[in-house]
Amino acid sequence: MKAIRRFSVRTVLPERIAALGDLASNLRWSWHPTTRDLFSEIDPARWAKVRKDPVRLLSALSADELEALAADEAFVARVDAAAADLGRYVTEPRWYQDWAASVEGGAPRAIAYFSPEFGITEVLPQYSGGLGILAGDHLKSASDLGVPIVGVGLFYKTGYFKQSLNLDGWQQETYPVLDPDGLPLSLLREADGTPCVITIDLPGGRTLAAHVWKAQVGRVPLLLLDSDVQDNDDAARGITDRLYGGGGEQRLQQEMLLGIGGVRALRLWSRLTGAPAPDVYHTNEGHAGFLGVERIRELAADQGMDFDAALEAVRASTVFTTHTPVPAGIDRFGADQIELYFGGDNAFAGVPVERLLSLGAEDYPGGQAGIFNMAVMGLRLAQRANGVSQLHGVVSRHMFDGLWPGFDDTEVPITSITNGVHAPTWVDRRVYDLAARHLGTTEVSRDNAWDGIAHVPGDDIWATKREMREQLVVEARRRTRSSWLKRGASPAELGWVEDVLDPDVLTIGFARRVPTYKRLTLMLRDPARLKKLLLDPERPIQLVIAGKSHPADETGKKLIQQMVRFADDPEVRHRIVFLPNYDIAMAQYLYPGCDVWLNNPLRPFEACGTSGMKAALNGGLNLSILDGWWDEWYDGENGWAIPTADGVEDPERRDDLEAAALYDLIEGSVAPRFYDRDADGVPQRWLSMMKHTLSTLGPKVLASRMVRDYTEKLYGPAARAGWALNGPAFDGARDLSAYKARVRSSWGGVRVDHVESSGVSDSPQVGDKLHVRAFVSLDGLDPSEVEVQVVHGRTSESDELRDIETAPLAYAESYEAGRHRFEGDLVLSRTGAFGYTVRVLPKHPHMASPTELGLVANA
């Protein structure tokens, strides 16, 4: 018999331990061991049974059990102490408050961070992979630093999916329904107690309504919009059913709800709480790009601004982060879909649909007509943009250089901030205990204790690593048994599982999403050679592998099946396991337990790849293709770089060559170093690499470093740019808009007429001074409205400039017919082939870069 209605009944806590409710609902517990200990002590067995979920644990306790806890003076004291600690954490000044008090020009009062997914904890499964985990780590680190961020996302009723395997090793997906009332969420309500509602108009006279759930991530509120509202029709209720589910139509509706609805949710949040409106809007990938469209609509309605002026006001305070190094990873919609949702009766006042279409148009060489590109819109709606590693910045500047014609890739205004990871979430507790014993602190980053790692006794480090490896082995056996039972095996035939993996064998981990370019099966290119490595009698290796393929990716599923079938082989199944349902909970065993973290993407398609960072913080060594973050931070002593066969066109041959290089490294370098032991059984050379990794990579890979970089390099400048344009009557935005219109109108007549130089002999030397004079026509523009530059660098045989630098030329004199002279001196500072040219660029105090308009007149 089935229930006709279902709802959750929340626990009523006795007053003396009522603070447990606050501790359970603030997700700080997910990275705060003392709070987790408090819940674990209530009932360790039940704590494990509810998968370490405080909300579920409290719901599982009877009234009598709760009263008994309230009568336990020692327990009440621990609850009070934990509540007081949380209170201090969420109110005391932290790094941001000190920075904000001293930074010139002021600091943002609030920053809105939009992302389609957030990986905070396995208890709140609203993530699929790296993008969501990064977003979760961003919020947690912002909380730790006191950065006033507000997260904005969607609540997915069935999350992403749970992965299992069938008997043939084929990925199976299930979608358990999540009850938000049973999660650490609270529903935003009006003063009369009714749920708050956000609405968006849809084609055909339909209306999309959404409720807003709030998760509290330490100091940071995370607002999640939910379309499963009774007033919606069935199609609208299902819009937020699944993360990355459905077809293009559903994806477009999700992204409208995220961007447009997200801005409206922020306005609701400010109305309900008095929180300041954000000074900065950060778009984490293109999915939330419509937030800029909604803000333009607001300015048109509230300030009477035209589209161009409103666009400038919005751009100034918007930051866009691109995470994909492949065009296929970008959401693209047909222009006809955009016209349907944003034209006709659905048109936004002040946002003509043709202007909206131009924001996402691929109107550049190589682009496709009739397509609306969300990343392109994101870049055009943001004055500041970045990739997520230095190499990814290079790739992104090349991928999007069509938006800035006339400029070299190096000048495309997309900078880089390398991702980081939230150490309290990902570093095993044993590592912190080790630091407390020998360094006197667990706040390694705050107390600058990284250098002290060199003095921690090696045998203690090695013993700790073995404990973490053994912990992984126990968990892998449990998960392997569970997986085989789901695949149809009987308990009687699973005795072999007790011999799966060995806590004393070199353990290599590989876990990530399974798109083709990440090459899950590269290690299987030569199965016989891999078997030899796994079964080596003196220096064996073992592999722990995990990863999900998108439900619609048949190729990815085949790769998983290929890996599973290899791991099923009785000859090697004690040395290699594929663990289904890779998530945060599994990762917290994997990273600490692996000695080596393997990453072998097809270079340069890895944007960053933060899993290797998490392994490094747990004393793991990276074995990776020089891609993503590893490309910039590999130093020869913190792991190994897998050689790449760049330039080999045949993908099969390239995979063969790089797989062979991987086998060679494991066989000739990695395994020998791991098994090279001293008289006490300790691998001193391996330990030296571990210590070096922790002391050198530790400070770099932290999300706290990443969030500080965002704050200082992007959030602060974006807030100040926004204030400069959004003053009384938005005069700054109107002025910048008028300037850009004037420049675009005149630019066809801007040219460099003539260049003269003097001051150097036929055999110039370093230190000589080159005097450059440029005569330019500006077609009515004032000399103060442009920047004339001399661009210089090394020259190729075809006179192409490389490694360019620029220097401004000063205005000197005007002539008739709108001609002007600019001049200046250039000191020669390098030897070899030297060349220069002159160019004219737009210049305005409110532009973040002279390349912003994509306009240039070259000599």
pLDDT tens across 119-142, in order?
A: 999 999 999 989 999 999 999 999
What local confidence, expressed as pLDDT, does residue 382 receive? 97
How do beta strands 834-842 and 111-114 pair? unpaired
Q: 222-265 pLDDT, tens per residue?
A: 999 999 999 999 999 999 999 987 778 999 999 999 999 999 99
Which residue's entry shows tokens 């060489």?
A: 365
Tokens of 9: 């009944």
Residues 6+ apart with CB under 8 A from 32: 424
Q: What is the distance between the alpha carbons of residues 483 and 163, in angstroms, rounded to a whole number?
A: 10
Are the C-beta atoms of residues 172 and 165 closer than 8 Å to each other?
A: yes
DSSP 11: P
Q: Is the pLDDT of residue 8 over 70?
A: no
What local confidence, expressed as pLDDT, does residue 325 receive? 82
What local confidence, expressed as pLDDT, does residue 326 receive? 80
Q: Is the pLDDT of residue 204 over 80?
A: yes
Q: Is the pLDDT of residue 117 over 80?
A: yes
What local confidence, expressed as pLDDT, does residue 439 receive? 85
Going from the C-alpha of 175 to that of each of 159, 243, 549, 621, the distances in angstroms are 7, 11, 15, 35
What local confidence, expressed as pLDDT, does residue 444 receive? 64
Torsion of CA 830, 833, 838, 844, to 10 degrees: -40
Tokens of 457: 């006794």
Arithmetic mean of pLDDT, 444-468 = 85
Are the C-beta atoms of residues 220 and 152 closer than 8 Å to each other?
A: no
What local confidence, expressed as pLDDT, does residue 158 receive? 94
Q: Is the pLDDT of residue 598 over 70?
A: yes
Q: What is the 3-state secondary structure (H, E, C) of 197-234?
A: CEEEECHHHCEEEEEEEEEEECCEEEEEEECCCCCCCH
Q: What is the distance between the alpha carbons of residues 656 and 627, in angstroms, rounded to a whole number?
A: 18
DSSP 576: E
What local confidence, expressed as pLDDT, does residue 10 receive? 61
Q: What is the distance between the alpha carbons of residues 354 and 358, in angstroms, rounded to a whole number?
A: 6
**Chain centroid to CA 424: how far?**
17
| Structure confidence at residue 446 as a pLDDT band (50, 70, 90) | low
| Structure confidence at residue 829 as a pLDDT band (50, 70, 90) | confident
* Three-class SS state of 769: strand
How do beta strands 596-599 and 576-579 pair? unpaired
Percentage of residues in the chain having pLDDT higher than 70: 98
Q: Vertex 289, ends 848 and 257: CA angle to 5°?
A: 150
**Does the bond joining 604 to the residue before it have cis omega, within 30 degrees of 0?**
yes
| Structure confidence at residue 574 as a pLDDT band (50, 70, 90) | very high
Which residue's entry shows tokens 């084609």?
A: 203
Is 265 buried (19+), middle (13-18) or exposed (0-12) by CB count in 10 A?
Answer: buried
779 bridge partner residues? none
Is 275 buried (19+), middle (13-18) or exposed (0-12) by CB count in 10 A?
Answer: middle
Residues 6+ apart with CB under 8 A from 456: 434, 438, 439, 691
Q: What is the distance between the alpha carbons of residues 434 and 531, in angstroms, rounded to a whole number?
A: 36
The sign of the torsion formed by the CA atoms of 715, 717, 718, 723 equals positive
What local confidence, expressed as pLDDT, does residue 11 receive? 72
What local confidence, expressed as pLDDT, does residue 441 receive? 78
Are the C-beta atoms of residues 107 and 96 closer than 8 Å to each other?
A: yes
Are the C-beta atoms of residues 293 and 311 closer than 8 Å to each other?
A: no
Q: 783-796 pLDDT, tens per residue?
A: 999 999 999 998 88
Arithmetic mean of pLDDT, 752-775 = 91
Type of residue found at 368: Q
Q: 56-106 pLDDT, tens per residue?
A: 999 999 999 999 999 999 999 999 999 999 999 999 999 999 999 999 999
DSSP 569: -
Q: What is the distance between the alpha carbons of residues 240 and 213, in angstroms, rounded to a whole number?
A: 13
Arithmetic mean of pLDDT, 594-611 = 95
What local confidence, expressed as pLDDT, does residue 445 receive? 61
Q: What is the distance between the alpha carbons of residues 619 and 610, in angstroms, rounded to a whole number?
A: 15
What local confidence, expressed as pLDDT, does residue 801 receive? 86
Are the C-beta atoms of residues 99 and 712 closer than 8 Å to each other?
A: yes
Q: What is the distance between the alpha carbons of residues 291 and 270, in angstroms, rounded to a whole number?
A: 17
What local confidence, expressed as pLDDT, does residue 572 receive? 98
Arithmetic mean of pLDDT, 618-631 = 97
567: closest CA among 579, 576, 557, 559? 576
Arithmetic mean of pLDDT, 209-217 = 98
What local confidence, expressed as pLDDT, does residue 245 receive? 78
What local confidence, expressed as pLDDT, does residue 76 receive? 97
| Structure confidence at residue 501 as a pLDDT band (50, 70, 90) | very high
Q: What is the distance between the alpha carbons of residues 563 and 321, in angstroms, rounded to a whole number?
A: 33
DSSP 821: E
Going from the C-alpha of 42 to that of each of 19, 57, 77, the distances in angstroms are 14, 9, 14
What local confidence, expressed as pLDDT, does residue 12 receive? 86
Q: What is the distance between the alpha carbons of residues 522 and 661, in angstroms, rounded to a whole number?
A: 11
Q: Vertex 516, ends 510 and 519: CA angle to 5°?
A: 35
Residues 6+ apart with CB under 8 A from 607: 323, 324, 325, 387, 388, 389, 392, 395, 628
Arithmetic mean of pLDDT, 624-645 = 96
Which residue's entry shows tokens 């036929």?
A: 762
Q: What is the distance between the alpha carbons of residues 763 and 677, in angstroms, rounded to a whole number?
A: 61
Type of residue found at 854: G
Q: What is the distance between the alpha carbons of residues 423 and 425, in angstroms, rounded to a whole number?
A: 5
Q: What is the distance between the alpha carbons of residues 673 and 379, in angstroms, rounded to a whole number?
A: 47
Q: Is the pLDDT of residue 447 over 60?
A: no
Arithmetic mean of pLDDT, 205-218 = 97
| Structure confidence at residue 389 as a pLDDT band (50, 70, 90) | very high
In 43-144, DSSP assigns E strands to: 111-114
Average pLDDT along the chain = 94
Going from the C-alpha of 455 to that of each of 95, 434, 620, the distances in angstroms are 29, 12, 18
Q: 300-342 pLDDT, tens per residue?
A: 999 999 999 999 999 999 999 999 888 778 999 999 999 999 9
What local confidence, expressed as pLDDT, does residue 798 receive? 83
| Structure confidence at residue 1 as a pLDDT band (50, 70, 90) | low
Q: 554-567 pLDDT, tens per residue?
A: 999 999 999 999 99
Going from the C-alpha of 712 to that of each of 100, 691, 720, the distances in angstroms are 10, 30, 12
End-to-end Cα distance, the chain: 81
Q: Is the pLDDT of residue 460 over 80?
A: yes
Angle between helices 307-316 and 290-303 (to 10 degrees): 120
